[in-house]
Amino acid sequence: MKGGRTYAQYGCSARHHKGASVCANGLTIGEARLTDAVVAALRSYFSSPEYERWLADAYEANQRARARAARRDDEVARLEREVRSAEARVEKVTEALARIGYSEPLAAKLKSEEAKLLDARTALALAAPAAKAATPPPSYSRAAVLAVIENLASAVLAKPQKGKALLQAVVEGILMEPSPDGYAVRLTLKKTNPAALEGSGAGDYQTGCGGRI
């Protein structure tokens, strides 16, 4: 306990559950040091050239998605106009039949226009769902993500439970291994909401913590 707060100790789960005969790794690390290491690793990764390249690639992919969505929207609008035009032609021929009476030419014309209307509606039905599903995700700058990390670091200190929940929202897994300079921390990040640290991936970072967890 420190400052009225109880901190957990983390270690090898195999040793904890099955004993030293299964795993000789008796190293442990305190929750505070582990949390500091995780936040430092997040800060390091999202400040790295690797993440900057990821952002650039994501931005280009976003722009391509927007262009594809715009083309699909244009195609849907064209097909909608085609359907309305075909409906108007069918209605016009139907009115002519009602006014003049049955004739082979009018019956053939109606059949032809109805076939064109069916084709237009089918094409529209196939195109419309793709257009609705093509809304591209919003993009986020590295500065915005780093600002979130700083808020996360503050939350971990001020409100540990809230900070832990935020970390769990973005971190899929954590692996810490001994290294000459302390511990190598490997984080696997979830693909999640940008507001809670956009992106997915993993990175290796050296920190001053100690122990393989």
Clarify whether residues 198 and 163 are in a common domain. Answer: yes
Within a domain: 59: no
pLDDT of residue 179: 66
Within a domain: 213: no
Domain end residue (candidates: 81, 116, 132): 132
pTM: 0.49
pLDDT of residue 66: 85
Clarify whether residues 86 and 125 are in a common domain. Answer: yes
pLDDT of residue 2: 59
pLDDT of residue 90: 95
Clarify whether residues 15 and 113 are in a common domain. Answer: no
Within a domain: 91: yes
pLDDT of residue 96: 92
Within a domain: 155: yes
Which residue ranges in the chain fall short of pLDDT 50? 134, 192-213
Q: Which two tokens stand for residue 65?
A: 């998605």
Residues 6+ apart with CB under 8 A from 117: 83, 86, 87, 89, 90
CA of 28: how far to CAs of 71, 85, 157, 173, in Å? 56, 74, 21, 17
Within a domain: 124: yes
Domain end residue (candidates: 99, 132, 165): 132
Q: How many domains does the chain have?
A: 2
Clarify whether residues 76 and 24 are in a common domain. Answer: no
Clarify whether residues 145 and 43 are in a common domain. Answer: yes
CATH of residue 118's domain is 1.10.287
Clarify whether residues 69 and 42 are in a common domain. Answer: no
Within a domain: 191: yes
**181 and 206 Cβ atoms separated by less than 8 Å:** yes
pLDDT of residue 117: 95
Range of the domain at 116: 64-132
pLDDT of residue 83: 96
pLDDT of residue 148: 72
Return the H-helix or E-strand segment holding 100: helix 49-100
Helix axes 160-170, 142-158, angle to 10 degrees: 140
pLDDT of residue 178: 65
**171 and 152 Cβ atoms separated by less than 8 Å:** no
Within a domain: 1: no
Strand blocks (E) in the chain: 9-11, 28-30, 171-179, 182-192, 199-207
Within a domain: 174: yes
pLDDT in tens, 92-114: 999 999 998 889 999 999 999 99
Clarify whether residues 157 and 197 are in a common domain. Answer: yes
Domain end residue (candidates: 132, 163, 186): 132
Clarify whether residues 13 and 30 are in a common domain. Answer: yes
pLDDT of residue 77: 92
Clarify whether residues 81 and 120 are in a common domain. Answer: yes
